[in-house]
């Protein structure tokens, strides 16, 4: 498909100070380290990392306090930690492209020039705000209920938030016509953050609705689709490669969820090369640490993505089990939203559904607190979020965790609805 014409103009949409940025260059951008050079350019410690390492480069056993590191040869090059990491991460970016070049949404091919790597997708959320929104002047549009960091990051950057809620009566889908009207009326809105699958809704947003916003006839702004949970949705759902068809689309992903690597902090934004260039220019040069880069690169190998898919399938099986079993517990109401993430948004009621129970924040909050304080099971109370009256957000755990959760929830709800002590 040919690139569509668009009112988007990067030269007037991005902040002028960012457009003028010259990315930080290090001497190694000019003189590649081939392993033979003496590196006296970056004020590193040439003697090595301040770690007691044995000859194999592993931490000496006596210095290891945790149990998981051991003395076996580490995957990570501990001996190289005295050197700054690669600022560009081209190999890692190539692997992300390989993963997402599915030719489902376009025949065009993603390359490393389409990518920004960040310290989690939280860094991408913030980098985009700093790239496009002038503090105290510009705005973003969000669609509640949604992920809290869009609001936090906007507040930190002194950016106002305009809200067009998701359609509560339609499975928490987008309201593209309302969004488009709002964008037409206020050109100071520079970005729309769409979470798909949504947090806390677990609903995959319809591609056709996102397209309606992208096809806005006059708006000069950027559409961000946050796909943190995309690998729990049906195969082919990711719109990452679609950034090649739209000059103003950004698709964010992370290794924190399906890939199970929240601890390494690695997120990416796929977008058009000009936007990726701006994001890469404004980031701190060495934002991705070498251990993170090594682990992320390993995670995207065929052997390791097979492990990710195996765990993902187990999570989906437990999600289906929760979908079957939760409604059998008296006091549990409907699932609001969808089933396309590794969590479910479930209503709790003031009485069992058979007795005409209604969604109740009193029940949900009491259940949330009792589960955490008395039963050692922590879920998330979401009843204060738009359209989520009486809701808990429940992350899908292991088979044993789900068994325990179901058992404790049944006991806690029974006691709460009977007005007894938990
Ligand atoms: C929708 C959504 N986006 C982004 C993130 C942040 O991900 P990361 O760990 O990559 O910063 C989360 C984390 O919960 C999330 O729910």
CATH number at residue 115: 3.40.640.10
Residue 382 and residue 260 share a domain: no
- 100 with 270: CB under 8 angstroms? yes
pLDDT of residue 63: 55
Cα(130) to centroid of ligand 1, in Å? 18
Residue 140 and residue 113 share a domain: yes
Of 300, 324, 350, at which residue does a domain stop?
300
Residue 382 and residue 282 share a domain: no
Cα(4) to centroid of ligand 1, in Å? 30
Residue 260 and residue 310 share a domain: no
Residue 248 and residue 117 share a domain: yes
In a domain, 372, yes or no: yes
Cα(255) to centroid of ligand 1, in Å? 9
In a domain, 347, yes or no: yes
Cα(121) to centroid of ligand 1, in Å? 6
The verdict on the CB of residue 121 being under 6 Å from ligand 1 is yes
pLDDT of residue 30: 86
Residue 382 and residue 292 share a domain: no
pLDDT of residue 125: 98
Q: Cβ atoms within 10 A of the Cβ of 46, count? A: 9
pLDDT of residue 51: 85
**For a pocket test of ligand 1, which of 120, 166, 258, 266 has the largest count of ligand atoms closer than 8 A to its C-beta?**
120
Which atom of ligand 1 is found nearest the CA of 229?
1
Residue 233 and residue 214 share a domain: yes
In a domain, 65, yes or no: no
Residue 348 and residue 202 share a domain: no
Q: The domain spanning residue 347 has which CATH number?
A: 3.90.1150.10
pLDDT of residue 61: 67
Q: What is the DSSP string of 37-50?
A: S---SS---TT--S
pLDDT of residue 2: 45
Quote the strand ranges of 151-271, DSSP E. 160-163, 189-195, 222-226, 249-254, 267-270
The verdict on the CB of residue 228 being under 6 Å from ligand 1 is yes
Give dist(CA 208, CA 336) in Å, integer: 22
Which atom of ligand 1 is found nearest the CA of 255?
10
Residue 383 and residue 273 share a domain: no
- 277 with 115: CB under 8 angstroms? no
**For a pocket test of ligand 1, which of 254, 261, 296, 343 has the largest count of ligand atoms closer than 8 A to its C-beta?**
254
- Please count the structural domains in the chain: 2
What residues make up the domain containing 131? 10-25+85-300
Residue 272 and residue 126 share a domain: yes
Q: pLDDT for 332-351, tens place per residue?
A: 999 999 999 999 999 999 99
Residue 344 and residue 253 share a domain: no
In a domain, 133, yes or no: yes
- 336 with 200: CB under 8 angstroms? no
pLDDT of residue 75: 64
The C-alpha torsion from 247 through 132 and 121 to 213, rounded to 10°, is -50
pLDDT of residue 214: 97
pLDDT of residue 28: 86
Cα(228) to centroid of ligand 1, in Å? 6
Cα(193) to centroid of ligand 1, in Å? 13
**Which tokens go with 10?**
């990067």
In the predicted model, residues of the chain with pLDDT beneath 70 are 1-4, 61-75
In a domain, 40, yes or no: no
């Amino acid at each position: 498909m040919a690139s569509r014409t668009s009112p988007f103009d990067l030269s007037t949409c991005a902040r002028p100070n960012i457009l003028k940025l010259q990315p930080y260059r290090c001497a190694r951008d000019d003189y590649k380290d081939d392993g033979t050079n003496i590196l006296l350019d970056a004020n590193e410690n040439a003697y090595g990392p301040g770690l007691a390492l044995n000859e194999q480069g592993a931490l000496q056993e006596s210095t290891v306090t945790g149990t998981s590191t051991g003395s076996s040869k580490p995957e990570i090059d501990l001996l190289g930690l005295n050197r700054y990491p690669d600022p560009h991460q081209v190999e890692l970016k190539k692997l992300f492209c390989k993963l997402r070049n599915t030719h489902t949404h376009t025949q065009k091919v993603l390359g490393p020039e389409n990518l920004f790597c960040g310290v989690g997708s939280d860094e991408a959320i913030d980098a985009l705000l700093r790239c496009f929104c002038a503090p105290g002047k510009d705005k973003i549009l969000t669609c509640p209920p949604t992920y809290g960091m869009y609001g936090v990051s906007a507040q930190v950057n002194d950016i106002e938030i305009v809200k067009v809620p998701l359609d509560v009566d339609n499975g928490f889908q987008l309201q593209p016509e309302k969004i488009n009207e709002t964008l037409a009326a206020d050109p100071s809105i520079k970005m729309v953050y769409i979470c798909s699958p949504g947090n806390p809704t677990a609903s995959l947003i319809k591609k056709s609705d996102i397209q309606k916003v992208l096809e806005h006839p006059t708006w000069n702004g950027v559409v961000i689709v946050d796909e943190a949970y995309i690998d729990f949705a049906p195969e082919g759902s990711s719109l990452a490669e679609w950034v090649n068809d739209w000059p103003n689309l950004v698709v964010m992903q992370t290794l924190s969820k399906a890939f199970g690597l929240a601890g390494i902090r690695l997120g990416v934004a796929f977008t058009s090369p000009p936007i990726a260039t701006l994001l890469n220019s404004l980031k701190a040069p060495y934002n991705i640490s070498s251990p993170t880069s090594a682990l992320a690169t390993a995670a995207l190998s065929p052997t390791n993505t097979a492990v990710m898919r195996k765990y993902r399938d187990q999570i989906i099986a437990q999600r289906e089990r929760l979908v079957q079993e939760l409604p059998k517990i008296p006091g549990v109401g409907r699932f609001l939203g969808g089933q396309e993430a590794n969590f479910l948004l479930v209503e709790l009621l003031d009485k069992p559904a058979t007795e005409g129970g209604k969604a109740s924040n009193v029940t949900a909050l009491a259940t949330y607190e009792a589960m955490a304080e008395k039963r050692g099971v922590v879920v998330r109370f979401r009843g204060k979020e738009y359209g989520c009256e009486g809701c808990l957000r429940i992350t899908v755990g292991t088979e044993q965790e789900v068994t325990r959760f179901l058992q404790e929830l049944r006991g806690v709800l029974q006691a709460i609805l009977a007005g007894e002590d938990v």
